[in-house]
């Protein structure tokens, strides 16, 4: 017998299901797309047990006839296209004809559907890909799909899933992405009997500034972005870009806040995300990501959506032109936004000594000049590290130290300039201070009770499902408290911030808490303890460090240099960015052609 044989249909169906149904959120996405293609104006999603126990999607669309209700569970059965040329001008969400067949192969599915022209609904039950019952039922016009016991016949798949609340969070993200791309359709999500999203439909063709569209953006992106939300519409030769942009005063540490759709189809295309990030590049701190909800409208013949099993990515006929126009339109909008015109004045900070705190203290008035070379000591002879990195004395035993170098000044409110023995030394003040605070936070691990600063009035924080899942993890909360960040659940979707690590500003408490929870959610419960602790320390250090663009007082500069001397600096901050660079004298001479 030969080595090649045809797979059993059941095995083939489960392999196909693995490409389409990655987790419960994948099921919800596919069923929502089917509902939208059926002309639904309202889609309700009910979830139990993170979607593993039950997923129910109900729509008010056109429904199906009896024969179609059975046929739709066959592989490659679709009403969306008939010939290959139809792929060049798709106007539908689903088209592969794999979703229901794939879902039914790994779950127990009941389909109840009724066209408005009939009095009775048609019902089909499928278990593990096999039709078990066909009959009639009472139901309103539209379609209802119940998916029970997902992965009941593939238990190994469950091992790769996360806790029920975390999976529910992924489902909420999937519903929110669909809702942001289709504001003219109402969406409702109920998780374990509690309403997580309730988003009424806006009128067809409503502009981004329409109140219902604004409320939808706030409902999906978070109530905290409301004062920073800006409607956006702009057109170029190839495309129209429309939606909402959050002022870069509010950002995220991950890309979960970047929602982009193409012709109202939510996608996670890397090229589009990179175009959005490029437009924001001069407005964001290193490691921060923007928050946007944008739709790209383009001729369907110029985009291929048939390049990914889950239709998550697209391919453009002219990708460079599309990405360039998105960058141009978004950059022009960002350049004239009100938040830049009303930006607060630069702050001046004095860093305390290491013995007192890891915090920084703003001073009330800036110094008269930003150059302090006259008061600084002359350079002491000493060695420079490899690749032009000065070596601090405390960590390496080198004779040279940062505090012994002559301080020339500060440029761009960001970089400190020092006169070194072999060249000009440049220090990124945020990266340097971040490394200092990071080392102090790590040193506190040996303490039984981490120091913290209780808030006079606890702050209430609205959380997403994924953030709630992280907070529900006792081990995660213990990690936070180990570093002085005390959060407590308060109500079904909120938490109280009761204390912060020393040196962190209460004004940034919400951002600090969200970042910490996001970091813990990313690491997961199975993450190694040391890795989770280091990641958390890095996020807290980033928030505690003096910002790029802030001005350091002369005393603040000297305190930072002394702190750098006291640690084993290495070459980078906790996030991998260089802390210090040296431009050697012979390189400077080369610029001016001095031989």
**Strand order in 239-246's β-sheet?**
229-235, 239-246, 292-298, 258-262, 265-267
Considering the domain architecture, whether residues 262 and 329 belong to the same structural domain is answered as yes
Q: At which of 320, 343, 366 does a domain end? A: 343
CATH classification of the domain holding 320? 3.30.230.10
CATH classification of the domain holding 515? 3.30.1370.100
Straight-line distance from the first to the last Cα atom of the chain, in angstroms, rounded to the nearest whole number: 79
Q: In this structure, is residue 30 part of a structural domain?
A: yes
**Which residues have a Cβ under 8 Å from the Cβ of 535 and sit 6 or more positions away?**
519, 522, 523
Considering the domain architecture, whether residues 305 and 397 belong to the same structural domain is answered as no
Considering the domain architecture, whether residues 250 and 117 belong to the same structural domain is answered as no
* Backbone phi and psi for residue 423, each to the nearest 5 degrees, phi listed first: 165, -170
Identify the domain containing residue 515 by its residue range.
Answer: 448-544
CATH classification of the domain holding 399? 3.30.1540.20
Considering the domain architecture, whether residues 139 and 10 belong to the same structural domain is answered as yes
CA dihedral sign of residues 241, 246, 249, 254: negative
**Which residues have a Cβ under 8 Å from the Cβ of 432 and sit 6 or more positions away?**
416, 560, 564, 573, 579, 580
Considering the domain architecture, whether residues 367 and 492 belong to the same structural domain is answered as no
Q: In this structure, is residue 443 part of a structural domain?
A: no
370: DSSP letter: S
Q: In this structure, is residue 113 part of a structural domain?
A: yes
Q: With CA atoms as reference, report the closest residue to 56 among 162, 139, 157.
A: 139
For the chain, how many structural domains are there in total?
A: 4
Q: At which of 343, 368, 394 does a domain end? A: 343
Considering the domain architecture, whether residues 231 and 277 belong to the same structural domain is answered as yes
Q: Kindly report the number of other CB atoms within 10 A of residue 393's CB atom.
A: 19
Instruction: Indicate yes or no: pTM above 0.85.
Output: no
Cα 68 versus chain centre, distance: 39
Considering the domain architecture, whether residues 93 and 71 belong to the same structural domain is answered as yes
Considering the domain architecture, whether residues 468 and 491 belong to the same structural domain is answered as yes
Considering the domain architecture, whether residues 407 and 337 belong to the same structural domain is answered as no
Q: Report how far residue 38's alpha carbon sits from residue 22's, in angstroms, rounded to the nearest whole number.
A: 24
Give the model's pLDDT for residue 280: 92
Give the model's pLDDT for residue 84: 47
Q: Report how far residue 322's alpha carbon sits from residue 241's, in angstroms, rounded to the nearest whole number.
A: 11
118 and 143 Cβ atoms separated by less than 8 Å: no
Considering the domain architecture, whether residues 433 and 560 belong to the same structural domain is answered as yes
State both tokens at 101: 């067949």
Q: At which of 312, 343, 374 does a domain end? A: 343
Q: In this structure, is residue 496 part of a structural domain?
A: yes
Length of the chain equals 595
Considering the domain architecture, whether residues 98 and 187 belong to the same structural domain is answered as yes
Give the model's pLDDT for residue 450: 59
Q: Report how far residue 100's alpha carbon sits from residue 177's, in angstroms, rounded to the nearest whole number.
A: 21
Mean pLDDT by 10 residues, the chain (595 residues): 57 56 92 91 96 96 88 67 47 61 92 92 92 92 95 87 88 94 96 93 94 95 90 94 92 88 89 94 82 94 73 84 95 82 56 47 37 33 37 39 86 85 88 83 63 82 81 78 82 83 72 79 58 69 72 82 76 76 86 70
CATH classification of the domain holding 89? 3.30.565.10
Q: Is 568 left (phi over 0), alpha (psi -120 to 50) or beta?
A: beta
Considering the domain architecture, whether residues 65 and 153 belong to the same structural domain is answered as yes
């Amino acid at each position: 017998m030969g080595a090649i044989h045809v797979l059993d249909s059941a095995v083939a169906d489960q392999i196909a299901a693995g490409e389409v149904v990655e987790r419960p959120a994948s099921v919800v996405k596919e069923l929502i797309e089917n509902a939208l293609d059926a002309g639904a104006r309202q889609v309700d999603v009910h979830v139990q047990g993170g979607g593993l126990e039950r997923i129910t999607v109900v729509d008010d669309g056109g429904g199906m006839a009896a024969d179609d209700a059975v046929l739709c569970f066959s592989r490659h059965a679709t009403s969306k296209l008939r010939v290959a040329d139809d792929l060049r001008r798709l106007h539908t969400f689903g088209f592969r004809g794999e979703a229901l067949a794939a879902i039914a192969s790994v779950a127990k599915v009941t389909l109840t559907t009724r066209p408005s022209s009939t009095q009775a609904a048609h019902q089909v039950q499928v278990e593990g890909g096999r039709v078990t019952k066909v009959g009639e039922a009472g139901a309103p016009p539209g379609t209802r799909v119940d998916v029970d016991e997902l992965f009941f016949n593939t238990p190994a798949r469950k091992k790769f899933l996360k806790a029920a609340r975390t999976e529910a969070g992924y489902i909420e993200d999937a519903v929110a992405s669909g809702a942001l791309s289709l504001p003219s359709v109402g969406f409702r999500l109920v998780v374990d009997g509690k309403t997580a999203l309730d988003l009424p439909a806006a009128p067809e063709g409503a502009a981004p500034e329409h109140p219902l569209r604004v409320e939808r953006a706030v409902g999906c992106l978070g109530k905290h972005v409301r004062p920073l939300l800006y409607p956006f519409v702009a057109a170029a030769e190839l495309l129209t870009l429309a939606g909402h942009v959050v002022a870069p005063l509010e950002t995220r540490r991950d890309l979960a806040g970047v929602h982009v759709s193409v012709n109202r189809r939510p996608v996670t295309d890397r090229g589009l995300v990179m175009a959005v990030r490029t437009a924001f590049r001069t407005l964001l701190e290193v490691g921060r990501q923007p928050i946007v909800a944008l739709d790209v409208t383009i001729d369907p013949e110029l985009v291929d959506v048939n390049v990914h099993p889950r239709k998550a990515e697209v391919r453009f006929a002219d990708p460079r032109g599309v990405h360039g126009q998105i960058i141009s339109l978004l950059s022009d909008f960002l350049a004239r936004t009100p938040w830049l015109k009303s930006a607060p004045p630069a702050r001046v900070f004095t860093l305390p000594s290491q013995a007192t705190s890891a915090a920084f203290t703003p001073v009330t008035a800036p110094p008269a000049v930003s150059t302090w070379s006259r008061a600084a000591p002359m350079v002491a002879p000493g060695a420079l590290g490899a690749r032009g990195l000065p070596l601090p004395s405390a960590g390496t035993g080198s004779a040279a130290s940062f505090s012994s170098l002559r301080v020339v000044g500060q440029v761009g409110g960001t970089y400190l300039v020092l006169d070194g023995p072999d060249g000009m030394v440049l220090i990124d003040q945020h990266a340097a201070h971040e490394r200092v605070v990071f080392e102090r936070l790590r040193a506190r691990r040996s303490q039984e009770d981490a120091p913290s600063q209780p808030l006079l009035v606890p702050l209430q924080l609205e959380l997403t499902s994924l953030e709630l899942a992280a907070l529900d993890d006792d081990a995660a909360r213990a990690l936070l408290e180990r570093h002085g960040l005390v959060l407590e659940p308060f109500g079904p979707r909120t938490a109280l911030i009761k204390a912060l690590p020393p040196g962190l500003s209460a004004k940034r408490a919400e951002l600090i808490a969200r970042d910490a929870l996001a970091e813990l959610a990313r690491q997961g419960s199975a993450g190694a303890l040391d890795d989770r602790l280091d990641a958390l320390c890095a996020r807290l250090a980033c928030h505690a460090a003096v910002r790029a663009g802030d001005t350091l007082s002369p005393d603040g500069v000297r305190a930072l240099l002394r702190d750098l001397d006291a640690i084993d600096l290495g070459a980078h901050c906790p996030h991998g960015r260089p802390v210090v660079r040296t431009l050697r004298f012979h390189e400077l001479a080369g610029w001016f052609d001095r031989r």
